[in-house]
Structure 1
């Protein structure tokens, strides 16, 4: 429960691996409105066993915070995590709403070199405009302009870190389309990206594949977490 800001939810848990040279920052799902890092501790052991530090972060939630303020909060977590972990680079991993936030970290104009060495989006929401027509927007409060401004798919630029965008084969067409569009946008701007469709996985069981060292998804992520040279 390490603080990275004054808000009660600006906290992260750090699981350290002896001699680790890379850190994974996991951002949880919950449509920016719920869930807690404690629910996802099962993700840490396999990556720690593979030699990586793992940080699980909470962040303020809508409508207590706006989506823009929430995103700024997650940005503040990055230097705090790196200080605590003692490594020089960070792989941002997120699921659903957390994948949106992981992409935002990669798109951030940092002072100096980007601390984000890779990004992994799992069943992400990268175009927020479709959410305006759903009950989720009662708490998000997005109009057309705000939804576009908060949509990473519209702001991908060159010289982004390498990325993996994964989605379950049994997910809805909307989630599969979001992943496909983000993968295409990443590659269209000259960046390295891989799209992984996990057979038999749905929006929630995808995390079991993330936590399984024998899974192709885990095997694809491990090289991205290599120390920065």
Structure 2
């Protein structure tokens, strides 16, 4: 296992740096505009083909909505992508283009927005994603293939935990956590916790690595090979803990990818990441 990138020595500064992807990635601030441009072009193209259903509600809140993209022909199941942003940034509109890979394998693809911190607590966001899944799964028959990035990796991993009430749980075929945060306790000491408002009890209760998986859960944890050491540690953590606890797990890294570029592989139907999600 790779070493963590901070110690208990110079605590706050070291912990913040351990999770600071913007500070670690060259030209990091250019990525959101590029993602948004690619996503808008993808939505326009799929809308023109009659294969996009945008702004479908799953609740009554202003961010309780998802977009659904349809493959050519009848879907063979539903793929999901839950965005990251440390539970406090972004919405579904930034990531539409990541549906391209799963769509090519015949899966419909749903991307939700959710209430952000500090308006919501992380436990509340977990409940929102469960509500979204139960709603979206009623629109598309067949197995459900979950994916999420960073905070989204945490959220889809939470759907595999036995304590989450999920009506469609028996349809979960596989879950791919991409650069996921699986133990929230290190975040208690970060500056971002002023927004997240985590306390020790919630950090424990919302950490998949500290919880029991559903029997038969199937988890793949993926990270970029050039990610911060703490994300590489988190990537190995959950599969290691859940191995042998009635869950099927594996983990791998994608060489040459960092925290922001690793998700680009979902646009490629032949990538290892897309194939792990699609189950082909």
Query: Shorter-normalised TM-score: what interval?
Result: over 0.9
State the 1:190 CA deviation.
3.3
2:154 aligned to which of 67, 92, 100: 100
Deviates more, 1:181-190 or 1:4-13: 181-190
1:72 aligned to which of 120, 127, 134: 127
**Structure 1 residue 166 and structure 2 residue 216: aligned?**
no
Query: 1:195, 1:118 → 2: CA distance?
Result: 13
User: Structure 1 residues 170, 6: CA separation in 2 closer, same or farther (over 3 Å shift)?
Assistant: same
Correspondences of 1:31-46 after superposition (within 5 Å): 31-46=86-101
User: Structure 1 residues 198, 113: CA separation in 2 closer, same or farther (over 3 Å shift)?
Assistant: closer
Gaps of 5+ in 1: 225-229
User: Structure 1 residues 204, 106: CA separation in 2 closer, same or farther (over 3 Å shift)?
Assistant: same
Q: Which residue of 2 aligns with 1:227?
A: none
Gaps of 5+ in 2: 1-54
**Structure 1 residue 22 and structure 2 residue 61: aligned?**
no
- Does the 8 Å contact 1:196/1:217 carry over to 2? no
State the 1:7 CA deviation.
0.5
State the 1:33 CA deviation.
0.4
Query: 1:35, 1:163 → 2: CA distance?
Result: 25
Query: 2:138, 2:246 → 1: CA distance?
Result: 31
State the 1:23 CA deviation.
0.3
Q: Alignment length, in residue pairs?
A: 223
* Structure 1 consecutive aligned stretches of length 4 or more whose deviation exceeds 3 Å: 109-113
**Structure 1 residue 10 and structure 2 residue 64: aligned?**
yes
- Does the 8 Å contact 2:70/2:107 carry over to 1? yes
